Amino acid sequence: MKDAYINRKYVIIAFIVIASLTLLLRLFRIQVLDVSYRLSADNNVLRYVTQYPARGIILDRNGKIMVSNQAAYDIMVIPSQTSKFDTAGFCNILGITEDIFKERMKFAINYSRKAPSIFLKQVSAEIYARFQEKMFMYPGFYVQPRTLRKYTKPIAAHILGYVSEVDDNIIRKEPYYKSGDYIGKSGIEEAYEKEIRGVKGVKIFMVDVYSRVKGSYNEGRRDSDAAEGKKIVSSIDMDLQAYGEFLMQNKSGSIVAIEPKTGEVLTLVSAPFYDPGLLVGRIRSENFTKLNGDSTQPLFNRALMASYPPGSTFKPVNGLIGLQEKVISPSTFFSCNQGYLFVDCHVHESPLDLEGAIKNSCNAYFCQVFRRVLENPAYQNVPAAYNKWKTYLSEFGFGNTLGTDFVNELSGFIPSGSYYDKLHGKDKWKALNIISLSIGQGEIGTTPLQMANMTAAIANRGYYISPHIVKSVGDSIFTVQRFTTKHRIDIDSANFEYIINGMEKVVGPGGTAAIAAQKDIVICGKTGTAQNPHGANHSIFIAFAPKDDPKIAIAVYVENAGYGATYAAPVASLMIEKYLKGSISNKNLEDYILNLSLPRK
């Protein structure tokens, strides 16, 4: 019994010794080895200043800077460290009223008395310099540097996007962002935010009771440097973009130009447009409200988000489908008596073969092609043939988004067979019920980007690469698979040649777009008119050039301008010449377009 008691005593003593040693080691690690606890205890005398990285610059395809950065400064405040001071003098330095001062202080106190918050955003370098000299008089206030976007030219706002402060929803979803951080909104700024934003750093300073910096904490060993965002090389030709906006001033509509072989977007104009510099700095919120309330909708990206009936620019696709389905041949002739049943047509030579029908934009011809496609005896019924027709359209990219790197791209609308079942009864509708689709009217809706992509597919004789706006990120060539993949269309390449020959005749003598002809550039195009229930019809033109080595495919929409040959075709012709030659030879044509001012509806 005595031995058992002694053994128990030693066990208890050993337990106490081990527990004591464990506690002592824990305290030693906390107090001596682990500086994080000391940092926490020293928070009341340390200031953590976020080092905001410069966002990556954005270049055009030729290496010209489109977007860079400029210095700006946020005035920060820690309410608990402030004391009474000359408010009038403080406001005079910062260029604000005493009412604004009271409002900002109230906000800061409500946010936190002990944590720093932004008192005044994005002051200029001049105001910063004045404030820096007097800052010792205003304890609790300090300056935090950051950068703002700077634009080389007041163009390409819809392409580039803008930067704005994060809201609570973004902070909850993305732990990287804190209150006061900024994020890309729309355009390249949003699509490539993670690449452009860089990595934040931090500097820790020791401050005295007057909020004056006394030096770096621990000789800067706990600091981390900010890493600048990656450089973006866009596919845009800055000069071509500027020229497109020059031509579209005082108009509504869009221009989309693509390099067919690569899918790279050369220019994307949405008119009316705005100066991207309006959405930078302290004036951003006020200007955004004005732009958002503008009845002409300058913030609306028509090139990606507006859906129009494609009109006669859609006829080449129906011609291709007719050839592939073998319901017509290139030498099939149809007569035109100024229309087909209840579809009108203009006066032109008759009868016409396929190339002649494209040259003259004959409605009657393509009504009969479409009817043959849908009444093809190879299919069980019209709805079955229609589904095949719709499959071809899907291969061209219609009715779907194109897999671009644009944000907010719409898919357009190609009705399904069930759509017509609801209108006319299941399997009870016929070709004549939907004959308007033959000439790009009716329920069909396409975006300007989709029409430029369709044009690129025709120029490539049967394939397209998803349109994209960026060529490289950082120092790496852009190798995203979807921007190198060829989307092939199940139509024989030989059939494209007949359509292309017809499109060449459109811009030749007697063609509907003879006005767009160039002396030494072979342009292939197609005019179109989109019906507009709210006013005058929209003028449309698609084209590519040169014919045998296409370097540019383009779609132009000029709203409320009537026939495609009237205004859209000249704009496309000028843009093609500008891109391929670098200058404009037909100044009369340019003046004609510049003097056009149309209602914006």
- Three-state SS for 351-407 is CECHHHHHHHCCHHHHHHHHHHHHCCCCCCCHHHHHHHHHHHHHHCCCCCCCCCCCC
pLDDT for 527 beyond 60: yes
Round to whole Å and give the CA distance between 46 and 28: 23
Average pLDDT for 522-528: 97
Average pLDDT for 459-465: 97
Round to whole Å and give the CA distance between 514 and 303: 25
DSSP secondary structure letter of residue 245: H
What are the CA-CA distances from residue 346 to residues 178, 248, 309, 363, 563 (Å)? 63, 29, 19, 8, 12
pLDDT of 590 = 94
Average pLDDT for 327-342: 93
Model confidence over 57-94: pLDDT tens digits? 999 999 999 999 998 899 999 898 888 889 999 999 99
pLDDT of 452 = 98
Coil/strand/helix, residue 583: coil
pLDDT of 39 = 46
Average pLDDT for 521-537: 87
What does the buried/exposed string (b/e) look like for 480-492 if buried means 16 or more CB atoms within 10 Å of the residue's CB? eeebeeebebebe
Model confidence over 251-268: pLDDT tens digits? 999 999 999 999 999 999
pLDDT for 328 beyond 90: yes
User: Rounded mean pLDDT of the chain?
Assistant: 90
Fill in the amino acid letter for 207: V
Model confidence over 474-523: pLDDT tens digits? 887 666 778 889 999 999 999 999 999 999 999 999 999 999 999 999 99
* Res. 40 pLDDT band, cuts 50 70 90: very low
Round to whole Å and give the CA distance between 173 and 573: 47
Average pLDDT for 298-327: 96
DSSP secondary structure letter of residue 249: T
Average pLDDT for 116-142: 89
Backbone angles phi, psi at 311, to 5 degrees: 60, -150
Coil/strand/helix, residue 540: strand
Model confidence over 285-312: pLDDT tens digits? 899 999 999 999 999 999 999 999 999 9
Q: Is 565 within 8 Å of 512 (Cβ atoms)?
A: yes
DSSP secondary structure letter of residue 458: H
In total, the chain counts a number of residues equal to: 601
pLDDT of 2 = 53
pLDDT for 211 beyond 70: no
Round to whole Å and give the CA distance between 518 and 525: 12
Quick one: what percent of the chain has pLDDT higher than 70?
92
Q: H/E/C letters for each residue in 250-319?
A: CCCEEEEEEECCCCEEEEEEEECCCCHHHHCHHHHHHHHHHHHHCCCCCCCCHHHHCCECCHHHHHHHHH
pLDDT of 370 = 97
Quick one: what percent of the chain has pLDDT higher than 90?
70
Contacts of 429 by beta carbon, 8 Å cutoff, 6+ apart: 382, 383, 420, 421, 423
CA proximity to 489, closest of 393, 423, 583: 393
DSSP secondary structure letter of residue 230: P
Q: Which residue has the higher pLDDT, 136 or 8?
A: 136
pLDDT of 8 = 67
pLDDT of 41 = 44
β-strand partners of 472: 233, 477
Q: Which of 142-151, 324-333, 552-561 has the lowest mean pLDDT?
A: 142-151
